[in-house]
Amino acid sequence: MVLKRTVVALTPLAGALLLPLLLPVIMTRVSLSASLLAAVLLATAWFVAMLRTAEMPGHH
């Protein structure tokens, strides 16, 4: 249970910190188009991870 809460708490933080740090590095070392592709793929993966770890109330 503690691990689940930790993952739920760290998922938004991880995405919010990693995306802005990784994209400029990819842009300078590879190319702008690779950075745009990485932005779309990483943001989509982050969004899916946020949805899968969300704590939603159950339906009654």
What's the number of domains the chain is made of? 1
Mean pLDDT of residues grouped by 10 in the chain (60 residues)? 80 88 94 95 91 75
Tally Cβ neighbours within 10 Å of residue 31: 11
Torsion angle of C-alpha atoms 20, 10, 49, 27, degrees rounded to 10: 10
Specify if 42 maps to a domain: yes
In a domain, 1, yes or no: no
Closest to 22 in 3D by CA, of 47, 41, 8: 41
Q: Which candidate, 15, 3, 23, places its Cα nearest to that of 47?
A: 15
Per-residue pLDDT at 41: 95
**Predicted local distance difference test score (pLDDT) of residue 59:** 64
44 inside domain = yes
Task: Measure the CA–CA gap between 24 and 51, rounded to whole angstroms.
Answer: 26
CA angle in degrees (0–180, nearest 5) for 45-49-43: 30
